[in-house]
A and B are shown apart, each in its own frame.
Chain A
């Protein structure tokens, strides 16, 4: 018998929430800065109580919201398809099939018998009252709807269910995708887009100044471009952070590229080494040369710092574990292994790495909390500055 539980971790030491919530496909946001989320109690869809049944299509899924600022958005699914806003604004929307939020916009897909299925963009201040900023009718064939029900995770926002368009937080809010791409999954970074197609190939486009497109240059791409470095390796997952990208192959390998300014690529980061020195430290040797600042690899040989990794690099986890799920925050990364462990790395100032402190790390570190509590991590989703985890108690034999 699987038991779902809500866990709260950590104290109130840091400004923005670093609380870990365990709830299936439902994200909670803390009000900035100190109000803890009330224990959620995830409400299963009808008929699913006590069983590990997947969510039906009535369940609303929320991605990251802007918890680090004053307005928080809290989603609850007391019944199928309801989105509730609370925090600095409050509001309710029913008949939601999917929801996606960004800094300045909340996107909803709503299905009503009278008006059909519609994509709606709401301003957060609107509290979901009166009219949305913008709407667009969606023609959903029934077979697409069935697909969405059976495979939650496919065709979810920002990818539209028809896989022929995606939503963007900046106008134009709905952008077309070539149907030949056969998009399966789409993720947005701060200035780029990642796409996983049905054949397991990865495409990227948008801004590339931090190497986040993975084509080996810093040039932008206007149209989806195939990641040739990964050709022939079928991918199962893609994840986009603010300025970095990650994909997981079907056999559980991680490929990662983009900006490494906080160690979010698990490569040696200069800023982390510099932060280790106190501010008033001399930092100079006797002859005036700088204290050696290159990183040290495990074998003692010095490894140079990496600021930008412009093409995919294979990343090995400790113990060679296989990865099944991955997600990226603004400047951090989290992955779940087949054995139910959670590894995080990158920017940690707001506790988003779950290592019970605010340090950033530039190598994969296991989150010991789940090991200590004998919890098996199933999946992870990152907000910009925090991380949400779904874990279950290990089955006792």
Chain B
């Protein structure tokens, strides 16, 4: 992304203001920057963190940069050892600490054009893999950096690429399934809490809820332009490849602008999907555009325990048939999705993978099943729907679901218990 390579006006001024704003986020004295860490983090690492802090407050920033690189590399190795859920949270906090120092050190250099963008990317990696420290200071640093970045050039957008109207979609071969022929997920308009609990939550039945999320600001505000404006320069994880069960599937990091250029405006780089990412923790401005479905209060957990994920991608992204351990509200914001639901009672007919890694995923390609390999699959009953903007789908815990985007699509999911 070749942004303006020259600093506007006086090269020193912009960088100076940025540095001041970032420096102001940090405590005045180095003692206040100390992290409280448990015994999982060895004394030698704590020594390194102290050394890095001293270098920073001693204004020896090139050395501090090297020290923070070592902190990041060391913590990265700990984050990649063992299953993610078993990683000691302290290592994630150490990682965030390293990102914070590195981002600040990068911004000290007088007017390196890409310094702010590099620093923002470092912050985003810390937000992605780290854990909040010092009152979520990394998110604040990211906001400061984002405000200081020159507005990115918008990648050339093909004006003829409008989301296909339903009529046009039907003309395309096999694009929209004929849901009239399939058993439909029931639809209700704003049922009462009690009705929802008695008829759907407790008996574990899916339902499409209308009139619940359709007034959220995102429904009117969100568009490609708006997303680029609010989040374009932020780094996000993107899944590349048609579906996560494919061999060629991989995950990579790129800015939202890059994602839109490579995988939405043009699909010459193959299918890319910004999937299952807690975008709203990373970019609080977007969080203000969404709400939380009222029915979540029927669960046992606290509101801050609800996992909110963004699902943003072009037409054609597929989530293979799988189940999740928690209750799910899937809110559709942009575009439409074709969704099929199978009951956990029929799990056997869905041939889940035997491996531990994929035991929650079916081996069957729902819309093109290999019936020789998976003969029982045709017998399995299912419900289906086309979820349109403003609608909310309730997917009970462990309910198998298959999702394909019929248009450029943005969904928000709420995992709750």
Contact = CB atoms under 8 A, between A and B. Distances in A.
Interface of A: 14-16, 32-33, 66, 68-71, 88, 103-104, 124-125, 190-191, 207, 209, 217-220, 242-243, 270, 279-285, 287-290, 304, 307, 330, 349, 384-385
Nearest to B65: A15
Contacts of B266: 287-289
A282 B2 contact: yes
A310 to B, nearest CB: 11
Interface residues of B, number: 42
Contact of B82 (A104, A207, A218, A384): A207
Q: Which 5 pairs from chain A and chain B are nearest by CB? A: A288-B266, A289-B268, A70-B47, A69-B44, A71-B44
Interface in B252-274: 252, 258, 261-262, 265-266, 268-269
Contact of A69 (B74, B261, B355): B74
B117 A243 contact: no
B188 interface: no
A217 B51 CA distance: 42
B67 A33 contact: yes
Interface string B1-28: 1110100000000000000000000000
B109 interface: no
B1 A282 contact: yes
B43 A218 contact: no
Q: Which of A70, A207, A304 counts the most B-chain CB atoms under 10 A from its CB?
A: A70
B324 interface: no
B155 A288 contact: yes
A124 B80 contact: no
B87 to A, nearest CB: 11
Contacts of B45: 69-70
Contacts of A220: 356
B262 to A, nearest CB: 6
Contact of A103 (B42, B156, B248, B355): B42
Contact of B44 (A15, A88, A219, A270): A88
Nearest to A305: B250
15 contacts: A15-B69, A66-B42, A66-B44, A69-B42, A69-B74, A88-B47, A124-B44, A207-B83, A217-B355, A218-B357, A219-B356, A284-B261, A289-B262, A289-B268, A304-B248
B156 to A, nearest CB: 8
Contacts of A385: 73
A70 B48 contact: yes
B406 to A, nearest CB: 22
Contacts of A207: 82-83
A125 B43 contact: yes
B114 interface: yes
Contacts, number: 102
Given A284-B262, A289-B268, A191 B43 contact: no
A14 B62 CA distance: 12
Contacts of A304: 248
User: Does more than half of chain A's interface fall in helix, strand or loop, or is it mixed?
Assistant: loop
Contacts of B36: none
A137 to B, nearest CB: 27
A287 B268 contact: yes
B77 A190 contact: yes
B70 interface: yes
Nearest to B43: A125
A16 B70 contact: yes
Contact of B268 (A66, A280, A288): A288
Contacts of B77: 190, 242, 330, 384
Contacts of A282: 1-2
A288 B356 contact: no
Contacts of A124: 42-44
B262 A288 contact: yes
Nearest to B47: A70
B66 A219 contact: no
Interface in B228-269: 248, 250, 252, 258, 261-262, 265-266, 268-269
A284 B266 CA distance: 11
B81 interface: yes
A68 B44 CA distance: 9
B74 A280 contact: no
B113 interface: yes
Nearest to B51: A70
Contact of B70 (A68, A209, A270): A68
Contacts of B1: 280, 282
Contacts of A243: 80
Contacts of B205: none
A280 B69 CA distance: 21
A190 B83 CA distance: 12
A18 B156 CA distance: 46
Contacts of A15: 66-67, 69-70
Interface in B303-328: none
